[in-house]
């Protein structure tokens, strides 16, 4: 637990010190958010600095540096690779092509796959099934989490709650008599690794949330959302890896509660490609609301703060239910 505390403390200090400097740098760089014209209620946010997720990444990297171990290498490549893709999408492409909203989907997807494959090799997940599962998880969760970055504090709060869930997943076990006891028991190296990463990432969100509180002074941007979602994919893959390597096959008893805990991510991403496919093929919407799903509540006239509180509350409930399922 000392290492987990060290990772969290280093992450908090690193992100806290970096936050005001990053904020001033983003203003100086004129890294302005280009809000979609389809979101009428968001036009007042046009020009707000983006790429605030750099604050979180600095904190996470500080936490990793203070508890460094060889297993971090693949994760480090994953974080830096997806951060580079996000930086190109947030800043480079809009600066080179004024009016553009970032990378088109094909080169973006290709760069993401390349970063995920490189991280898998460095982590030792070279079996085709392992690598395929890992790349799928990375693409799914990085983009799902990126879609959740649409309202003030929504993405940052979801990350914080999910990190608490990942920590509890690994440090809480039923006692010998079947009763619940909050104890720390290292099941394997993966369990310890997940606690360190989740602790550092969750705490790093706090300084960012200070600047992202409504009305947001800075947005997370792809440079933060893509690598954070990829980190969650790394954690999920690490949880699934041990039983698969021990010859148990695909661990449905673990995958079930894990899918439940990630329910918000499923809700955010699944309607988006369905909506796009329906419009392309049938020339009409599949759903009578905007996607990602949090915009559907805006169409109902809900204030942004109520939507955010709903999503955070549901995410917390899903974490509790997933942990209860796992322990039972």
Q: With a cut of 60, say whether residue 179 has pLDDT above it.
A: no
Q: How confident is the model at residue 254 (pLDDT cuts 50, 70, 90)?
A: confident
Residues 193, 310: Cα–Cα separation, whole Å: 31
Residues 20, 14: Cα–Cα separation, whole Å: 11
Q: Are 201 and 12 in contact (CB under 8 A)?
A: no
The predicted model gives 235-264 an average pLDDT of: 80
Instruction: Catalogue the long-range contacts made by 259-263 (C-beta closer than 8 Å, 24 or more residues apart).
Output: 260/318, 260/321, 260/322, 260/325, 261/162, 261/165, 261/169, 261/318, 261/319, 261/322, 261/323, 262/141, 262/162, 262/232, 262/236, 262/318, 263/314, 263/315, 263/318
Residues 230, 138: Cα–Cα separation, whole Å: 5
Task: Report CA-CA distances (Å) from 58 to 22, 90, 164, 178.
Answer: 10, 17, 19, 41
pTM greater than the 0.85 cutoff: yes
Q: Are 55 and 225 in contact (CB under 8 A)?
A: no
Q: With a cut of 90, say whether residue 35 has pLDDT above it.
A: no
Which residues span the domain enclosing 12?
2-327
Number of domains the chain contains: 1
Q: How confident is the model at residue 39 (pLDDT cuts 50, 70, 90)?
A: low
Q: With a cut of 50, say whether residue 180 has pLDDT above it.
A: no
Residues 36, 221: Cα–Cα separation, whole Å: 14
Q: pLDDT by residue (tens digit) across 126-177?
A: 989 889 999 999 999 999 999 999 899 999 999 999 999 999 998 765 545 5
Q: pLDDT by residue (tens digit) across 69-121?
A: 999 999 999 999 999 999 999 998 888 887 777 788 899 999 999 999 999 99
Q: pLDDT by residue (tens digit) across 303-324?
A: 999 999 999 999 999 999 999 9
pLDDT at 184: 44
């Amino acid at each position: 637990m000392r290492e987990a505390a060290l990772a969290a403390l280093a992450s908090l200090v690193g992100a806290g010190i970096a936050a005001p400097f990053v904020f001033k740098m983003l203003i100086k760089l004129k890294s302005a958010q280009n809000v979609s014209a389809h979101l009428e209620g968001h036009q007042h946010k046009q020009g707000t600095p983006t790429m605030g997720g750099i604050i979180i990444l600095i904190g996470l990297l500080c936490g990793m540096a203070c508890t460094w171990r060889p297993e971090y290498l693949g994760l480090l490549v994953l974080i830096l690779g997806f951060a580079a893709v996000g930086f190109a999408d947030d800043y480079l492409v809009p600066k080179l092509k004024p009016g553009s909203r970032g990378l088109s989907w094909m080169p973006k997807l290709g760069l993401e796959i390349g970063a995920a494959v490189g991280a898998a090799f460095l982590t030792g997940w070279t079996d085709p099934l392992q690598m395929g599962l890992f790349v799928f998880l990375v693409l799914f969760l990085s983009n799902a989490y990126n879609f959740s970055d649409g309202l003030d504090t929504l993405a940052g709060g979801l990350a914080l709650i999910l990190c608490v869930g990942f920590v509890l997943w690994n440090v809480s076990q039923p006692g010998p008599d079947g009763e619940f006891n909050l104890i720390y028991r290292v099941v394997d190296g993966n369990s310890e690794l997940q606690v360190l990463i989740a602790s550092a990432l969750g705490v790093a969100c706090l300084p960012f949330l200070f600047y992202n509180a409504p009305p947001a002074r800075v947005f997370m941007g792809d440079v933060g959302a893509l690598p954070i979602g990829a980190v969650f994919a790394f954690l999920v893959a690490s949880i699934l890896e041990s039983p698969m390597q021990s010859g148990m096959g695909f661990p449905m008893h673990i995958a079930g509660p894990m899918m439940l805990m990630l329910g918000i991510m499923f809700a955010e991403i699944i309607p988006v490609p369905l909506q796009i496919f329906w419009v392309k093929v049938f020339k009409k919407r599949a759903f009578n609301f905007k996607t990602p799903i949090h915009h559907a509540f805006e169409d109902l006239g809900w204030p942004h703060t109520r939507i955010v509180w709903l999503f955070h509350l549901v995410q917390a409930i899903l974490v509790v239910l997933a942990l209860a399922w796992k322990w039972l």
